[in-house]
Structure 1
Amino acid sequence: MPKPLASVRALVGAFALGLLVAACGQPESGTETGGTPPADAGVVNLYTARHYDSDLRLYERFTELTGIRVNRIEGNADTLIARMRTEGDASPADVFVSADAGALWRAQEAGLFQPANSTVLQDAIPANLREPDGHWYGFSRRARIVAYDAAKVRPEEVDTYEELASPRFRGKLCVRPADHVYNLSLVAALLEAWGPEKTEQWVRGIVANLARQPEGGDRDQIRAVGAGICEIAITNSYYYIRLASGEDAGDREITSRVKLAFPSLDGRGAHVNISGGGVAAHAPNYDNAVKLLEFLASPEAQTMVSEHNNEYPASPSVTVPAPVSAYAPFEAHPMSVARYGARQAEAQALMSRAGWR
């Protein structure tokens, strides 16, 4: 049921009062960099499922360049989607951002996006990393790949996804729980590439290969390889890069022994997912929302995300900064990330049936 006008004003006011400021653009992003931005060029209300402190630098930079303040609400992707649905056409949300293509697809299916038909966005982001009709765009990539014990595993033993489910690794695999969106998107991609029969065989092989019941996050899986609990682990690339380049000497020592492999899907490259966002369906500040998206697609913003959160830029024209550059020479599968969400329910049912908890 729509909120009364006074409630809407109160909510928008609450946004403006306490929450954070935003980041900016450059000539490639469509934002102006010449001169001093206006002292108050309005606001953009951001609902974000990304929870990285480094993102605050993006929003601060956006405000610095444009004068547009970013009011930020953080939360779980599904929680934010539910909130936007409840708010209906009175929602103050201008932009919704999530760290998974499947979550963006769910928001789109719920009618929570409107197209941002910006040539700046279309030129900056490859077609396979955005929704075909402009409802959402990817701004950074992460590969879902393999960490392996270099003393026990040869690189050629983990250079395809099929090999991860082979008898060679019975009782020697670590992975986080099945219901995490990173695993759901991976299995959804396999369903898209292989169909249900081969994918279910693969999932059953993964379950048979578990060294322990799935638990923890991706960094826990890498550390488990280092501790000898398993020989291989499925992980996102940026978690490994964080450990390898972080301040913890113990983690850096682990990555001197545990290496990263980029398995190929049907000889076409490693599975990648995105962080991205789109303009909310009832955005009260549409123009500012598009400006924020254009900034996030800019070389400056993509470089900042890569440098500070160890993700890969979405655009192939953006130079990958250190420390990510050391892990950048790999082939990424060209599958459209827009296909993941449509198959996640099927992936969840298949994984549950196979016993991946």
Structure 2
Amino acid sequence: MKWSRSLCTLALAAASLGSAQAQEKLLNLYSARHYQTDEALYDGFTRQTGIAIKRLEGKEDELLERIRNEGANSPADVLLTVDAARLAAAHEMGLFSPVQSKILDTRIPAHLRTTDWFSFSTRARVIIYAKGVVKPEEVRNYSDLADPRLKGKVCTRSGSHPYNLSLMASIIAHQGEAKAEQWAKGVVANFARPPKGGDTDQIRAVAAGECAVALSNTYYLARLMRSDKAEDRKTMEKVGVVWPDQQGSGAHINVSGGGVLKNAPHREAAVRFLEYLSSDEAQRYFADGNNEWPVVAGVKVANPALAELGKFKADSMPVGSLAMYRAKAQIIFDRAGFR
């Protein structure tokens, strides 16, 4: 009888171990990245590790609120999203858990990571101008967008959008609040029309003559450059691109990144996933698939659009600094009427 009970106990223990091992072969990913090319990323991770990814996609704010509401019962292991401001918001809500990883610390530059979230790709915020209407030397710096010579010529998306908030945060960090507000008021005075649409809309507006100057993240430009649509190619023929502040701090850089969530049920798998995102294979997916720059130095990519955009000086400000001034950036935009 004792032997039978022992066998039963061993069987239960084995079943429990098997269940635990099965659980570790799963990763629950909450993602605000909506790019079809990311499928290759997830497939590559599963192929290398045997860990299946169960993915939930949604808008950034919705995912953050969902994770907070789920609390200790949240099934989410990792949050992926775009923009340092959104990653900072997750940090401020206490959703992330600190990660210690020699791989991440070695591969990801210090200014592109914090204690609990990491950047895995970058995109630059550049100035777009209408060829034949504005000369590139007139818009060499972000500060030029506030120059009265551009009155009635500037298009932009909303001042409340994280892309613009992150740019404003960097201006505050570099120049102080007073100069940042002066810049915001100057840009508002130069609006060709009220802010609306996304970055692609700004590029098309410049090409169509609705305005002469705009801001855009680089991967939107690369998409149009690689498009097989004649309309997109014509759009890019009409606009020029300037890397801002090349004699100063460099072009403003924003990021796509993520972190391990505080209540992650599969923490080991979550850390392995973040480490995979820093691998050469994953870094090439970010670049070749979605037109973003790798954060890991020396990764060879084969993206003709990125090659055509050329090399540039990037702002090396720590991503944590962008987070620090996010709220102040919104206050300044609101005061300036940049809505």
TM-score, normalisation: structure 1: 0.86
Aligned mate of 2:107, from 116, 124, 128: 124
Spell out, residue by residue over 1:9-36, the C-alpha distance to the aligned partner (whole angstroms, 9 max, x if none). xxxxxxxxxxxxxxxxxxxxxxxxxxxx
- SS of 1:102 mapped into structure 2: helix
Spell out, residue by residue over 1:316-356, the C-alpha distance to the aligned partner (whole angstroms, 9 max, x if none). 22124312122240110110111112211111111111111
Aligned partner of 2:26 in structure 1 is 43
Residue 249, structure 1, aligned to residue 227, structure 2:
no
Is contact 1:126–1:315 with CA below 8 Å preserved after alignment? yes
Aligned partner of 2:69 in structure 1 is 86
Aligned mate of 1:58, from 9, 19, 41: 41
CA distance in 2, matches of 1:47, 1:194: 36
CA distance in 2, matches of 1:247, 1:216: 23
- The one-letter code matched in structure 1 to 2:153 is K
Residue 260, structure 1, aligned to residue 275, structure 2:
no
Taking the TM superposition and a 5 Å limit, the aligned residue runs for 1:1-357 are: 42-131=25-114, 133=115, 135-264=116-245, 267-323=248-304, 324-357=306-339
- SS of 1:339 mapped into structure 2: helix
- The one-letter code matched in structure 2 to 1:66 is T
Query: Max radius of gyration: which structure?
Result: 2
Spell out, residue by residue over 1:260-300, the C-alpha distance to the aligned partner (whole angstroms, 9 max, x if none). 11101771210000000011111110110011101111111
- SS of 1:291 mapped into structure 2: helix
Shift of 1:219: 0.5
- SS of 1:105 mapped into structure 2: helix
Is contact 1:40–1:67 with CA below 8 Å preserved after alignment? no
CA distance in 2, matches of 1:121, 1:243: 32
Spell out, residue by residue over 1:88-124, the C-alpha distance to the aligned partner (whole angstroms, 9 max, x if none). 1111111011101111111111111111211111111
User: Post-superposition, which runs of at least 4 consecutive aligned residues in structure 1 deviate over 3 A?
Assistant: 38-41
CA distance in 2, matches of 1:88, 1:202: 41
Is contact 2:23–2:266 with CA below 8 Å preserved after alignment? no
Spell out, residue by residue over 1:51-78, the C-alpha distance to the aligned partner (whole angstroms, 9 max, x if none). 1111111111111111100111111222
- SS of 1:144 mapped into structure 2: strand
CA distance in 1, matches of 2:239, 2:203: 8
- SS of 2:325 mapped into structure 1: helix
Aligned partner of 1:3 in structure 2 is none
Aligned partner of 1:19 in structure 2 is none
Spell out, residue by residue over 1:229-285, the C-alpha distance to the aligned partner (whole angstroms, 9 max, x if none). 111111101101111111111111111120111101771210000000011111110
Aligned partner of 2:4 in structure 1 is none
Unaligned runs of 5+ residues in structure 1 are: 1-37
Is contact 1:102–1:338 with CA below 8 Å preserved after alignment? no
CA distance in 2, matches of 1:195, 1:169: 23
Unaligned runs of 5+ residues in structure 2 are: 1-20
Give the CA RMSD over aligned residues: 1.5
CA distance in 2, matches of 1:39, 1:349: 48
CA distance in 2, matches of 1:248, 1:350: 39
CA distance in 1, matches of 2:124, 2:71: 35
CA distance in 1, matches of 2:260, 2:138: 43
- The one-letter code matched in structure 2 to 1:167 is P
- SS of 2:311 mapped into structure 1: coil
